[in-house]
Amino acid sequence: MEFIDDKQQSPQDRSEPSPGTLYLVGTPIGNLGDLSPRANSILKNVSLIACEDTRRSGQLIKRIGSSVPLLSYHKHNLKSRQSQLLEMLKSNRSIALISDAGLPGINDPGEELVRAARSNNFKIICIPGPCAATTALVISGLPSERFCFEGFLPKKQSAREKRLEDISKEKRTTVIYESPHQLVRLLEDLSLKCGKDRPIQISRELTKRYEESIGKTIEEVLKHFIINKPKGEFTIVLGGNNKKEDKISESEALNKLNKLIQEGEKSNIAARKIAEESGYKKNWLYSKLHNKLDK
Ligand code: SAM
């Protein structure tokens, strides 16, 4: 890993922000000390800052002594704002995109602007910063080598049910965002779908004064939050489904194999498909098939 400091940067690097560039700037998720010096400098020197809520981001901008104008960019005005922002990039102005907190593009309309800027070949640079999902994941003690991010679950009942079903089967650790007043409902749903013993770790108020982590099983955290009304911001890290699926019986696997062949599949391809599905070895299935045919 090679680090560079200011003195080692080329003159071109030092002239950040560069014209016609969209900067995605990570901002604190609670603790102002987490704003990096580079983020601070970009937020003071770009032509414009696009943010979800000008009042909320205005507080951060004021705290760092920036006088860069703010423009609201949120899910209700993203289409009209996008063309406005692209026009500004075209006229060689630099834009910083920030979200209410954390990394823009994670659960906010940032993704759409990035896509539009990419398809118009503008330069996009991320000034990395805190993200609640990865912060909660790395302190959870749950496997982080592979994980998935769900953000907020859908509000519509049928879509929510389907998502919960998928999450319950997921083998990787899953990270979920939830508001405090929906937390107990989410935990009850997870308990029903995943079982009360599933490992879980809930991070509350990350990077803030009353930061805490509550675990270890769904049953334990549910009990905790029924007694202690959820307050603040929460990120949920759910352990993956580690239950071994029951293997189908040998005769069931052979029946499936025969059915595929009767439907017109080549025997070696059918054997491969059933091997993948059932966990039985392809060669074993193939030999059984031929034994049967030879008789
Ligand atoms: N872009 C943000 C990021 O990078 O983390 C996420 C924005 S999302 C709209 C807001 C959600 O993130 C909150 O409802 C909560 O679930 C989670 N979150 C944000 N700040 C948090 C914190 N300090 N502690 C725990 N969770 C937090």
Q: Residue 118 maps to which CATH number?
A: 3.40.1010.10
Q: Enumerate long-range contacts of 148-153, CB under 8 Å, 24 or more apart.
A: 148/172, 148/173, 148/174, 148/175, 149/106, 149/174, 149/175, 150/174, 150/175, 150/176, 150/177, 151/106, 151/107, 151/176, 151/177, 152/107, 152/176, 152/177, 152/178, 152/179, 153/178, 153/186
Domain match, 161 and 174 both: yes
The confidence score (pLDDT) of residue 5 equals 62
Low-confidence ranges of the chain (pLDDT < 50): 11, 294-295
Q: Does 167 reside within a domain?
A: yes
Any ligand 1 atom below 6 A from CB of 200: no
Alpha-carbon torsion (33, 38, 41, 42), positive or negative? negative
Domain match, 142 and 211 both: yes
Domain match, 161 and 185 both: yes
Domain end point (choices 106, 130, 154):
130
Name the residue range of residue 263's domain.
Answer: 250-294
Q: Does 227 reside within a domain?
A: yes
Closest residue by CA, ligand 1 atom 25: 234
Instruction: Please write the tens of the pLDDT for every residue from 35-56.
Output: 999 999 999 999 999 999 999 9
Look up the pTM and report it: 0.82
Domain match, 124 and 178 both: no
The confidence score (pLDDT) of residue 37 equals 96
The confidence score (pLDDT) of residue 295 equals 46
Any ligand 1 atom below 6 A from CB of 133: yes
Q: Does 163 reside within a domain?
A: yes
Domain count, the chain: 3
Q: Ligand 1 pocket test: which of 155, 175, 177, 201 has the largest number of ligand atoms within 8 Å of its C-beta?
A: 177
Domain end point (choices 130, 156, 191):
130
Instruction: Please write the tens of the pLDDT for every residue from 99-132.
Output: 999 999 998 889 999 999 999 999 999 999 999 9
Ligand 1 centroid to residue 136 C-alpha, Å: 10
Q: Does 40 reside within a domain?
A: yes
Q: Ligand 1 pocket test: which of 234, 236, 237, 238 has the largest number of ligand atoms within 8 Å of its C-beta?
A: 234
Q: Yes or no: say if 92 and 20 are a contact pair by the CB < 8 Å rule.
A: yes
Domain end point (choices 101, 130, 159):
130
Domain match, 101 and 126 both: yes
